[in-house]
Structure 1
Amino acid sequence: MVWAVLLAGLTWHSARNDPPTVREQRTISQAAPRVDAAIGELVAAASGTVYALTPTEFEQGCRVTPFADGAILRRHVELAVPAGEERAVLERVAEGLPSTWRAGVRLTSDGPRLRADAGEFVTVSGRTVADGRVRLSVETGCRPADAVVASLLPGYPPGPESTALAAALSALGVPAGEPDVRVEAACPSGGVARTVRADVAAAAQSPQAALAPLAGGTPVMATDELYAYQHDGVAVLVELYEDRTVLAATTGCAG
């Protein structure tokens, strides 16, 4: 009887005080701040490149256990880098991450891959998705879904990224309105990384020529599919499609 009481007491104490040992013990709402912080660390480590935060992905329907559904929270940072420098950029990002993450880059049959552990069972990865394009990702894995993702994300007032987006739209001859999407993340040293996005009709004139003055004549990347540049401390990515143009303006974190 004494042993049973002692065992019950230890179990109760462990459940209330010990850290989780598997990700199923951490819900989506508990993991969201770690994901936000990890994105901030990635942005700070990628300082000096042109990048954009992408809208948060919230995938429902995975299996936490054979008897319980869950959800996966993902966030990404898209980088535009000179073609051929993708691996070097991934290695520089890995070096800039906290040492406790044990970040590293290895060469695989699909190209260089960055892997890191942000803690609390949140994984970090990075890979080349096209020539001159790198994607950094943070993922929770399948967790108990105890909140709607929109309620988990912080909100911040607009900044110079909105001005840069308006300038790019004006150069393309598109009236500046409210951005279609705002995406944000807290920086590790304070402040906020913020991306505003606009999805508009394809420009009638050459986007590269129209945006060249804003890029100071020296874009980071200029192809038929992508135009990337820095303007007054704001990174601007312009994705060019046959029927539309997608613009993203981002203020980042200090490295």
Structure 2
Amino acid sequence: MTHRLALSTLGLPGMPMPDVARLASAAGYQGVELRAHPEEPVHPGIGKPERAAARAEFEALGIEILTVAGYAKVTTPLTPQELPELVALAHDLGASYVRVFPGGDGTPEADARAVQQLTRAAQLAEDSNVRILLETHDSHRTGAAAATLLDRVDRKGIGALWDVMHTWLGGETPAESYAHLAPHLGYTQVKDIASAEDTTPLPLGTGALPLGDCLAQLPPDAWLCWEYEKRWYPDAAPLPGLLAAGRAYLTALSEI
């Protein structure tokens, strides 16, 4: 069995949902991670008809909406509705996960706030059959740092999203990152970059990230999502032309 593959719409800024669904299907991906931002077609502000239409577009082609990639920063004060709105959007779309960021300054007060806000949202997530995943990012970019929060929450509805670039930039080996994240892991974001100094997105397998070592840690049926950060690097090569080669590369690594 090989890993299941998804693509992130961060690499397809502003693309209409029918086009995303067709592109994912044609390139051989099984899922999508939808960037849930107001500048994108799908975000918490859209209504029930738009949600149903988006869900139907992907279901018609057998593509799973894996994640609603939100921008809530859980170490900072959130509005009472911020996480519930993301969970509701994921539920309406049939998505398994909601992505959130740490977004803090590493202080004990910020960490305590993150634990409190994630714990408060856990029951709603569980009742909605959704998991809120804390991405290894910014103030908690390593597996060790993210696990310090997740171990304290310790709820089924709260988990981890392993961004392999950030844990590598944080100085962890893939084995170290996975050991910390495994009890909480929802899925893994893969990407490639030239170096720690140049994080411009590259085609998979052409940069410095130890992707083979990362995939070797994972169960054979784990989800991998290619997060190609075209939105932040407009001069990067367009993603559509890279998708087939990226799928072939990840499939080959999965079979080693």
Structure number having the greater helix percentage: 2
Q: Which has the larger radius of gyration?
A: 1
TM above 0.5: no
Q: TM-score under structure 1 normalisation?
A: 0.24
Q: TM-score under structure 2 normalisation?
A: 0.24
Structure number having the greater strand percentage: 1
